[in-house]
Structure 1
Amino acid sequence: MRTLLDCNCEILVFRVTWNSIFNHKWSTFVQQVACQNLWDGPYRLLFCSSKGDKDGVMQELGKGVDTNLADYDKRTALHLASCEGCTEIVVLLLERGAHVNFVDRWGRTPLSDARSFDHQDICKILESHGGIDPMGLDSQASCCEIDSTEVDMNEATLIGEGAYGEIYLVKWRGTEVAAKTIRSSIASNKIVKDNFLKELALWQKLRHPNIVQFLGVLKQTDRLIFLTEYLRNGSLYDILRKKGRLDSLTAVAYALDIARGMNYLHQHKPHAIIHRDLTPRNVLQNEAGRLKVTDFGLSKITQGKDVGYKMTGGTGSYRYMAPEVYRRESYGKSVDVFSFALIVHEVNLGHIMFQGGPSNRGEDPEKLADKRAYEDSRPYLPSIVYPEPIKKLLQDCWHKNPDRRPTFEEIILYLENIQDILSIKACCSCVVL
């Protein structure tokens, strides 16, 4: 049985024989963004630090990457290692000159993150290096409550509608943030509301460059409103609708952003977080061009093994729904992998599949889900458009057997290999020009 890990080895050979495999249409597809260092810098250092990958961290530091370089949210490698409980990485970063009190955009230091997740050993290490926690007790709060007087909802601007209610642009402490209102059917039911608040309390603890940051819940007597960071560029759905076909390097970068965010959720400890409603509308873009996954209201925490929940067929979006969900069967993390494959298909890793909208956009979503669940229907992948590694990725990710689908960690490695190939090809094209 061949897996994506097997294919990663094959890609090394594919890298050498690029020109013999790719036709002229594919080769012209990469030239628009040739030789741009879109994925260099601190990002891989952050990723390896959050995974506890010491070899990866050493490799990036060996390249001369600044230990204190941060992402758009001013999150450093030390923040992520402290958050994830990666003690060895924390020690390594501090030895290499990491700033122990670097403050992210929410005013949190690495010690704030370590305390939030009760990583006592890391707290002691950071404190011994002069680490402080400006958040104090707030960093350990179950769910941050924000006084309603801090946000004037009368001045709010309606910017959209989400799965649970309207979304507004508001100002909080001088910063533009998104205020998401919860429908009365949810807010008025105490049990449902309590469960929803538990989901938000979980979301509050998540810290990753590809996850939308939850900020707090407004104290309101008549309705439930929670605040998240505001991502000015909108959703992936909006981006695709406006831009249509994307170039290959951008498509791969988008796929990697989503995969990294989802891998973080799936590797969450002590229980994995399953999104269950991964769609282009639930992927947002910040001003730096990075994609972030949002809205975990439909997600659940797996108990024990990666199976056991049953979802109603109406959960999530039919268009991106895994077959086992539509059939109301037990499910696991691989339902998100299936949805991811359909998003990647739309993001246009191929040549022509997205021209103003998905190729199946006119088809009824429920009928589409039914055909995928009972007829094993999948989007068409013509060989002349999709190179074999891309076809392999999509086919594995939307495999009818959930156990045969790869993990997001495997997907990331696979996509990184493809990204390397595209970058090499782009640079070679520049030289030729």
Structure 2
Amino acid sequence: MEFGKFRLLIWVISTMCLIKCSIQFQPIDNYLLDCGSTTNSSIRDRVFLADTSDYHFLSNPEQESVSASNSQPISSIYGSSLYRTARIVNKTSNYTFSINQHGRHFIRLYFFPFPLNAGTYNLSTARFSVSAHGFTLLRNFQPDSTPVVKEYSLNITSDELVLTFTPSPNSFAFLNALEVISHPDELIPITAKAVELPRNHHNLMTQALQTVFRVNMGNQTVLPDNDTLWRHWYPDGTFMKYNNLVQFVSNITAVNYTTGDPAFDIAPLSVYGTATKLNTQYNPSALLNNTWSFNVAPGFSYLVRFHFCDIIERPPSQLMLNIYLNSMSVAKDLNLGEEMPNVWGAPFYLDAVTKLNGNGILNVSIGTSLAFGSYPESILNGLEILKISDSNGILEDGATGVNSSTSRSNSKILVIIVSACGAVFVLVLLGCMFFVINRRNRRKRKSSNEEYFTTNGTKENDENTLFSRSKMGYRFPLGAVIEATDRFSESLVIGIGGFGKVYKGILSDGTIVAVKRGAPQSHQGVSEFQTEIEMLSQFRHRHLVSLIGYCDEKNELIIIYEYMENGTLKNHLYGSDLPKLNWKQRLEIAIGSARGLHYLHTSSQLAIIHRDVKSANILLDENMMAKVADFGLSKIGPDLDKTHVSTAVKGSFGYLDPEYMTRQQLTEKSDVYSFGVVMFEILCGRPVIDPSRPRGMVSLVEWVNEWRKRGELEKVFDPFLVGKMKMESVRKYVEIGEKCLAENGVDRPTMGDVLWNLECALQLEGSEVKSPRVESDSGVGVSSTGFNEGSVGDFVGVSMSRVFSEMVKGEEGEMR
């Protein structure tokens, strides 16, 4: 009787776990489309809407749809009805979805080239590319003859997701169904450590990922119905290298989710409740490995997630594991008892990143360890392998992807045979013809360059060009820009400003660039376009965004810059889901921006005044180094015998120098005022103008001044920073920020003074600032950071303009 009660209790606990698992996650964004269908489809309590409905997700709803005959057998775990219709795309078309919750989303694409009874299409010959949010999900893709689901995870940071289908030349695209579903952000880690030396951390927040394998150990399938995120887990038996060494076990009731671990969404109960373990009954003391082998595309990095849950009853001793990816160690003597907070049956997962080269074989091994008297056994419950987008934002290429592995292998064999047979002939032929071909190619290149570009990049004999042959910078033909941006695809838009949209582009040599295209209705026109090109052509500095080229062909005004991986400072301070910057990071960004502006003000005989300094014009590269951008409003400063330049007021509201606004007198101190606003924007983590706030708090500057007068400036600090800054550093920072915001320009410091004090603030925070050593006015060597806390006060009020002017010259060796 007691045993019956115990079994009933176990059944109740298990049922409650299953119920909790089934209701754990409800996606905010949940788009399910049955493409090409005229009616909605219900698949296991999930309703897929017909994309011909009134929801208008597709940019070209007049595109054709096709369907399979009712007699056509289709077998698929995802529901055969989804594979009986398809949307045909003959030209570039977009599916557009409103995003209600920024963050990670699944994109699932369903493909099956079913035979048609009649018509002009053969789906098996389709070849096309798919892109979304600046990433190429599929390129030159040709679906296999069986139903397949391609699954991706993208971090969506905009209010719209545009999924673009682009047919290859002389071909078409098709799609059977698709899903766009928000999923918990914790499903994908922000960073993960590489197994190769040095063990660098990979930033995954800005990367797209593709699910390559999702495997459930214990050799059991987990269908999407039994996963809160509708994922499919394949059995591991087909991937095992040595089946005779393992045992498949199942113990669902042992899984313990009571520790607060978010594992319900990380992996379902049916994954953690099954496992593949090493069979140690023959030789318990042997150090053996369980190994699974996977074919993956070489040349990519992969996020590999190991799922563990100790569901096996054993003697009371530690279970320790050695984990390997190919020959590289992921973890040595991993103590599951410590990782699972000493709770038997608690789920645990481990992430690692590895780069695959060579033959594209990824071996995953879980080995036994006898360290500290541990029990000689290995166990694994689940495994996920996700491909990480490469530096060009590409995830799968039809020429190198997994789908073409067989044909690629056959091609390699054929190439080897042909090469071996004809090697001597080819070498002799090349030796005889090399000189002639080389001279001919040089003549062709010279002719081509003379036709399209002069030696400084300007098109020759083009009367429409805006720049003389003396101007720097490379003039790109419009065709090259169109190709780089996939015909200005909306999916590649990374920003929108007063001049127009900014696109992520890839040049023919693989260089990733930012392409700013002037909009016809833009208030900023030819003069601003010319100004920015001319300014950026003259100056190269590590804290100024570099110009790569421009295009002024066929009424297009296009500027091409270096691509800045981490976007704008503004987006890292507020208005996005990006991780918060700590105080040291903010100081370093302020210092980098100040260096760029100081260089503009002092690098030539006449100062260059930026005139539009704001957080949106400070960009961050992959290393979070700040670079000043957008020089369309820049102005050459006053002559040496004048104090200012009289000019119409231009700039951004909230950042404008009040003296410049009232008198229309522009000086470099106008940039200093704007930079002061940015400094408090950095400190407070809020917009400069925020109409949603109560009266008195709308303007950041007025709000800061009010609390400063009360002597309670800490009231305006970004709550994220409170308690995480050294007050000596903050006081130095606030002191120079207040001086920047002085009403009269003459009372404001120079950018050199600002830079000096910011480096003092960073020094006080506890970071060393590396700067060139220069000579002081007295001839004594002075380092910009060569002081301690006790000597900081000695420098207050001392102008460092001359010192930093010399530093700028010293940095010229580091300029691009």
Fold shared, TM-score > 0.5 on shorter chain: yes
Give how far 1:285 is off.
0.4
Q: Following the alignment from structure 2 to structure 1, what is the Cα–Cα distance between the partners of residues 495 and 677? A: 23
Give how far 1:237 is off.
0.8
Indicate yes or no: 2:715 matched with 1:380: no
Match for residue 571 of structure 2 among 215, 233, 238: 238
Secondary structure, in 3 states, of the residue corresponding to 1:231? coil
Secondary structure, in 3 states, of the residue corresponding to 1:324? helix
CA contact (8 A) 1:143 1:197 kept: no
In structure 1, stretches of 5+ residues that fail to align are 1-134, 426-433
Tell me which of the two structures has the higher relative contact order, counting C-alpha pairs closer than 8 angstroms and 6 or more residues apart. 1
1:139-158 CA distances to partner (integer Å, 9 max, x unpaired)? 86444211222222415422
Q: Following the alignment from structure 2 to structure 1, what is the Cα–Cα distance between the partners of residues 562 and 639? A: 32
Larger Rg: 2
* 1:212–1:283 distance in 2 versus 1, CA, 3 Å: same
The one-letter amino acid of 2:456's match is: D
Q: Which residue of 2 aligns with 1:216?
A: 549
1:180-221 CA distances to partner (integer Å, 9 max, x unpaired)? 11233579x9xx625632441221221111100111112421
Q: Following the alignment from structure 2 to structure 1, what is the Cα–Cα distance between the partners of residues 747 and 698? A: 20
Q: Which residue of 2 aligns with 1:344?
A: 679
Give how far 1:412 is off.
1.3
TM-score (norm 2): 0.31
Q: Which residue of 2 aligns with 1:138?
A: 456
Secondary structure, in 3 states, of the residue corresponding to 1:167? strand
CA contact (8 A) 2:689 2:698 kept: no
- 1:241-390 correspondence runs (5 A): 241=574, 242-243=577-578, 246-305=581-640, 307-313=643-649, 315-348=650-683, 353-354=684-685, 357-358=686-687, 361-362=690-691, 378=705, 380-381=707-708, 382-384=712-714, 387-390=730-733
- Deviates further, 225-234 or 376-385: 376-385
Q: Following the alignment from structure 1 to structure 2, what is the Cα–Cα distance between the partners of residues 307 and 363? A: 39
* 1:308–1:172 distance in 2 versus 1, CA, 3 Å: same
Identity of paired residues, percent?
26
Match for residue 228 of structure 1 among 558, 561, 565: 561
Secondary structure, in 3 states, of the residue corresponding to 1:138? coil
1:393-431 CA distances to partner (integer Å, 9 max, x unpaired)? 111111111011111111111111221111169xxxxxx
* 1:389–1:219 distance in 2 versus 1, CA, 3 Å: closer
* Structure with a larger share of its residues in strand: 2
1:213-234 CA distances to partner (integer Å, 9 max, x unpaired)? 1111124213211111111211
- 1:195-210 correspondence runs (5 A): 196-210=529-543
The one-letter amino acid of 1:272's match is: A
* 1:264–1:136 distance in 2 versus 1, CA, 3 Å: farther
1:342-364 CA distances to partner (integer Å, 9 max, x unpaired)? 1111212xxxx32xx24852369
The one-letter amino acid of 1:201's match is: E
CA contact (8 A) 1:376 1:400 kept: no
Q: Following the alignment from structure 2 to structure 1, what is the Cα–Cα distance between the partners of residues 767 and 572? A: 26
Secondary structure, in 3 states, of the residue corresponding to 1:278? coil
Q: Following the alignment from structure 1 to structure 2, what is the Cα–Cα distance between the partners of residues 260 and 218? A: 29
- 1:14-93 correspondence runs (5 A): none
Give how far 1:304 is off.
0.4
Q: Following the alignment from structure 2 to structure 1, what is the Cα–Cα distance between the partners of residues 632 and 688? A: 29
Secondary structure, in 3 states, of the residue corresponding to 2:456? helix
Secondary structure, in 3 states, of the residue corresponding to 2:502? strand
Secondary structure, in 3 states, of the residue corresponding to 1:145? coil
Indicate yes or no: 2:177 matched with 1:177: no
The one-letter amino acid of 1:138's match is: N
Q: Following the alignment from structure 1 to structure 2, what is the Cα–Cα distance between the partners of residues 268 and 144? A: 23
* 1:275–1:363 distance in 2 versus 1, CA, 3 Å: farther
Q: Which residue of 1 aligns with 2:300?
A: none
* 1:379–1:168 distance in 2 versus 1, CA, 3 Å: farther
* 1:338–1:379 distance in 2 versus 1, CA, 3 Å: farther
Indicate yes or no: 2:752 matched with 1:409: yes
Q: Following the alignment from structure 1 to structure 2, what is the Cα–Cα distance between the partners of residues 363 and 324? A: 27
Secondary structure, in 3 states, of the residue corresponding to 1:255? helix
- Deviates further, 409-418 or 197-206: 197-206
Secondary structure, in 3 states, of the residue corresponding to 1:184? coil
1:283-327 CA distances to partner (integer Å, 9 max, x unpaired)? 1100011011100101111240464334445x2111111111332
* Structure with a larger share of its residues in helix: 1
The one-letter amino acid of 1:259's match is: A
Secondary structure, in 3 states, of the residue corresponding to 2:766? helix
- Deviates further, 255-264 or 157-166: 157-166
User: Which aligned segments of 4 or more residues in structure 1 are displaced greater than 3 angstroms?
Assistant: 139-143, 242-246, 305-308, 310-313, 367-372, 375-381, 383-388
1:118-169 CA distances to partner (integer Å, 9 max, x unpaired)? xxxxxxxxxxxxxxxxx99438644421122222241542221122111111
Q: Following the alignment from structure 2 to structure 1, what is the Cα–Cα distance between the partners of residues 733 and 673? A: 15
CA contact (8 A) 1:259 1:408 kept: yes
Indicate yes or no: 2:502 matched with 1:167: yes
1:80-135 CA distances to partner (integer Å, 9 max, x unpaired)? xxxxxxxxxxxxxxxxxxxxxxxxxxxxxxxxxxxxxxxxxxxxxxxxxxxxxxx9
Give the aligned length: 279
Q: Following the alignment from structure 1 to structure 2, what is the Cα–Cα distance between the partners of residues 288 and 234? A: 11
Q: Which residue of 1 aligns with 2:742?
A: 399
CA contact (8 A) 2:532 2:630 kept: no
Q: Following the alignment from structure 1 to structure 2, what is the Cα–Cα distance between the partners of residues 316 and 368? A: 22
Q: Following the alignment from structure 2 to structure 1, what is the Cα–Cα distance between the partners of residues 698 and 533? A: 29
Secondary structure, in 3 states, of the residue corresponding to 2:707? coil
CA contact (8 A) 2:707 2:713 kept: no
- Deviates further, 317-326 or 207-216: 317-326
Secondary structure, in 3 states, of the residue corresponding to 1:380? helix
Q: Which residue of 1 aligns with 2:479?
A: 149
The one-letter amino acid of 1:422's match is: E
Q: Following the alignment from structure 1 to structure 2, what is the Cα–Cα distance between the partners of residues 259 and 371? A: 20
Give how far 1:380 is off.
3.2
Q: Following the alignment from structure 2 to structure 1, what is the Cα–Cα distance between the partners of residues 530 and 700? A: 36
Give how far 1:253 is off.
0.8
TM-score (norm 1): 0.57
* 1:410–1:369 distance in 2 versus 1, CA, 3 Å: farther
Q: Following the alignment from structure 1 to structure 2, what is the Cα–Cα distance between the partners of residues 180 and 280? A: 18
CA contact (8 A) 2:638 2:667 kept: no
